[in-house]
């Protein structure tokens, strides 16, 4: 049974959860959490690395002991240490972390007092008012628990794009290895690069339908075969993700790809254009009467209704048809257009690579610049650094700049926006930096008007550059805080500030709608990774996906500028 990186990371995270609930040493807990992030961020499958005998202890933050445990997980699908802890406290307790703000101590308390093990137990106890009776909890926490459980239910079964991507790549690789297969492509919301994916639609051109379907339904990762036919099969994977494989013919390939890529609204709009020309457009092709006149490629589909090709990321019926008709479709930004990363962390705070290692990795990616943005003092959970440590970091940057003349190392910080809108370093410190990446980490539950005013007040500071992860949301985990981002964008335009599109797979913040709004308002966006390791620099592609869905072009993106133009653009004083 295959163990994808996400599967391995889940086991490590569960181990960290249970250790924390047990009250174990925080360094031990953090080691497992860091290992989970390192594993999930790997471009290659950890399972393959173990099979090929690679030394996992060479990965950042992975020692010999953790490397051995990761090897055990990939080989057996389990971790014996986790089984040992599971005999002392139920494994299910880890799934309660974060619900209603529950931390390890409170979970330990409700388990001991009420015997709560699962989310269902927790919901029942909250509905009957049992949680609020425990000292230190109260009715507000009880209500928040019920709200969070309801929100989780509303999210449905959609998974984060990065999880779907790992699964899709694995299946495509296996299908392409079959000699009978000529072409494989994943369609649906995955191809449109939506931030969450409900299921995977895979199209195949092959010479032997039956062999392909037998191989697909027989993969180790399949938990259940929903249906198996000669041209279509549906399975459920162990992760719960549904995957459909459809066999299509060469003459209908483009039509099928267009139809199954969607979105539904976009496809309907294209079909309506076809109807005006007495054409019928479906998954098999474009037909005039009974005669098929197009369908081999998607370009043929669009040409048949008088349109140029429309990129999959734009196909949401949000004006792309009209733009295509007017010849004003955007030339979407690409990964190759990005010249540097403006949000990265090092071991000085909560990163897992040294400053020099981050710089060297940026050089290897061909970047012109990289901003080192370790946390300011307020963010104690991430070991934010004081003024003295920040000054020492800048001296180290000066030393490295002479060693790496091919890249500009920008002196910066991820500066907390305090509750009153002031910034977490005094102005005499901020003015020594090349730029600031300013964030809301605390007081996220302020009313919308206060949160909005707080951020705008921070932008009044002439040393404010970029507003990082502007809504604070974590996909499928935490809702955005209340903020009028439209007002914030207008304030940013007036003050010559910028907004970030944070590429971390848990954030992808801003979303595509806000990206389009920023573009329309003329506010440039920085596509940054928030990298906490050299591997996290690879998250950039996820941010670019989101930017493309938001219609962003190279000219809309701050870090597409050459270094001299960037320095001029961010100068406010």
pLDDT in tens, 374-408: 999 999 888 899 999 999 999 999 999 999 999 99
pLDDT tens digits for the chain (573 residues)?
Answer: 678 888 898 899 888 888 888 888 888 888 888 888 888 777 678 988 898 998 988 887 788 999 999 999 999 888 998 888 888 888 888 888 878 778 888 888 998 889 998 889 999 998 989 998 888 888 888 888 888 887 766 555 789 999 999 999 999 999 999 999 999 999 999 999 999 999 999 999 999 999 999 999 999 889 999 999 999 999 999 888 999 999 999 999 999 999 999 999 999 999 999 999 999 999 999 999 999 999 999 999 999 999 999 999 999 999 999 999 999 999 999 999 999 999 999 999 989 899 999 999 999 999 999 999 999 999 988 889 999 999 999 999 999 999 999 999 999 999 999 999 999 999 999 999 999 999 999 999 999 999 999 999 999 999 999 999 999 999 988 889 999 999 999 999 999 999 999 999 999 999 999 999 999 999 999 999 999 999 899 999 999 999 999 999 999 999 999 999 999 999 987
Residue ranges and CATH numbers for the domains of the chain are 5-154 (1.10.150.110), 159-247 (3.30.460.10), 252-326 (3.30.210.10), 335-570 (3.20.20.140)
**405: Cβ–Cβ under 8 A, 6 or more apart, which residues?**
none
Q: Say if CB 215 and CB 209 are below 8 A apart.
A: no
**pTM, to two decimals:** 0.83
Q: Is 113 exposed, middle or buried (0-12, 13-18, 19+ CB in 10 A)?
A: middle
Chain length of the chain: 573
Token pair 């890529």: residue: 261
* Phi, psi values for residue 410, rounded to 5°: -85, 130
Residue 388: CA atoms inside 13 Å, Cβ hemisphere, count?
0
Do residues 451 and 491 touch, judged by C-beta distance below 8 A? no
Q: What SS3 string covers 57-84?
A: HHCCCCCHHHHHHHHHHHHHCCCHHHHH
3-state secondary structure of 287: strand
With contact defined as beta carbons under 8 Å apart, do 429 and 389 qualify?
no
Long-range contacts of 318-322 (CB under 8 A, 24+ apart): 318/516, 320/266, 321/266, 321/269, 321/270, 321/273
Quickly count: other Cβ atoms within 10 Å of residue 382's Cβ.
18
């Amino acid at each position: 049974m295959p163990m994808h990186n996400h599967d391995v990371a889940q086991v490590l995270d569960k181990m960290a959860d249970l250790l924390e609930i047990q009250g174990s040493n925080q360094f031990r807990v953090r080691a497992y959490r860091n290992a989970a992030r390192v594993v999930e961020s790997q471009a290659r499958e950890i399972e393959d690395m173990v099979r090929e005998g690679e030394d996992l202890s060479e990965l950042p933050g992975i020692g010999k002991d953790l490397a051995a445990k990761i090897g055990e997980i990939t080989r057996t699908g389990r971790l014996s240490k986790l089984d040992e802890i599971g005999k002392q406290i139920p494994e299910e307790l880890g799934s309660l972390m974060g619900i209603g703000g529950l931390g390890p101590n409170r979970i330990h308390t409700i388990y001991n007092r009420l015997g709560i093990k699962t989310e269902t137990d927790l919901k029942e106890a909250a509905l009957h008012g049992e949680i609020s009776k425990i000292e230190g909890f109260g009715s507000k926490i009880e209500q928040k628990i019920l709200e969070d459980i309801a929100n989780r239910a509303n999210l449905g079964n959609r998974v984060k794009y990065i999880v779907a991507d790992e699964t899709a790549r694995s299946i495509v690789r296996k299908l392409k290895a079959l000699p009978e297969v000529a072409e494989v492509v994943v369609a649906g919301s995955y191809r449109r690069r939506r931030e969450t994916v409900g299921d995977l639609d895979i199209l195949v051109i092959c010479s032997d339908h039956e062999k392909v379907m037998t191989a697909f339904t027989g993969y180790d990762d399949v938990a259940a075969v929903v249906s198996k036919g000669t041209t279509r099969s549906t399975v459920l994977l162990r992760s719960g993700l549904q995957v459909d494989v459809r066999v299509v013919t060469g003459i209908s390939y483009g039509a099928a790809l267009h139809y199954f890529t969607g979105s539904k609204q976009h496809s309907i709009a294209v079909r309506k254009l076809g109807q005006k020309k007495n054409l019928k457009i479906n998954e098999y092709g474009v037909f005039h009467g009974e005669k098929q006149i197009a369908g081999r490629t998607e370009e043929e589909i669009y040409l048949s209704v008088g349109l140029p090709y429309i990129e999959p990321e734009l196909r949401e019926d949000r004006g792309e048809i009209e733009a295509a008709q007017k010849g004003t479709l955007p030339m979407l930004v690409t990964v190759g257009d990005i010249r540097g990363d403006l949000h990265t962390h090092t071991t000085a705070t909560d990163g897992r690579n040294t400053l020099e290692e981050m710089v060297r990795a940026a050089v290897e990616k061909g970047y012109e610049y990289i901003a080192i943005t370790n946390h300011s003092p307020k963010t104690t959970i991430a070991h934010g650094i004081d003024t003295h440590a920040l000054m020492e970091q800048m001296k180290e940057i000066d030393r490295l700049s002479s060693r790496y003349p091919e890249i500009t190392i920008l002196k910066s910080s991820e500066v907390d926006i305090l509750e009153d809108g002031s910034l977490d370093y005094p102005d005499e410190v901020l003015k020594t930096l090349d730029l600031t990446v300013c964030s809301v980490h605390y007081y996220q539950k302020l009313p919308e008007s206060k949160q909005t005013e707080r951020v705008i007040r921070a932008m009044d500071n002439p040393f404010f550059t970029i507003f990082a992860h502007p809504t604070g949301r974590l996909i499928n985990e935490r809702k955005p805080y209340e903020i009028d981002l439209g007002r914030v964008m207008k304030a940013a335009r007036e003050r010559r500030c910028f907004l970030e599109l944070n590429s971390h797979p848990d954030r992808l913040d801003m979303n595509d709608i806000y990206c389009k709004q920023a573009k329309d308002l003329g506010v440039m966006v920085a596509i940054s990774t928030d990298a906490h390791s050299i591997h996290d620099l690879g998250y950039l592609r996820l941010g670019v996906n989101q930017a493309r869905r938001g219609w962003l072009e190279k000219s809309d993106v701050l870090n597409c500028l050459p270094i001299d133009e960037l320095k001029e653009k961010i100068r406010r004083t």
